[in-house]
Amino acid sequence: MNRYCVFCEIVAGREPADVLYENDEVIVFRNRLRWVPIMLLAAPKKHMTQSELWAAMGPVGEAAQKVGQEQCPGGFRLISNFGYDGMQSQDHAHVHILGGMFLGEYA
């Protein structure tokens, strides 16, 4: 039984998203959360886990840094959450692109 995945629905065009970049393998869109001025999500179009993504970072890593440089020329941060304790809220693999302001030091 397949679980509902909002990222798969965005990829399929059945859920709305402000898409900034897309190719055959990757989609980058604005996060609905707005903790910092620029908060984007880079995800593979194919549903996979965070561990699978990081094992084959190629296309998603390239897209994340490309859009990060375009949207946050002063610098940006890439973040990926793993599991409940890491605050992962979506099963579909993705990387956060944060910027648009000085992000400070890590907590």
The string of pLDDT tens digits covering residues 63-106 is 998 999 999 999 999 999 999 999 999 999 999 999 999 998 87
Its CATH architecture, for the domain 6-99, is 2-Layer Sandwich (3.30)
Inter-residue contact 47 to 9 (CB < 8 Å): no
Q: Rounded to two decimals, what is the model's pTM?
A: 0.87
Token match 């880079």: residue?
42
Question: Which residues belong to the active site?
Answer: 94
DSSP state of 107: -
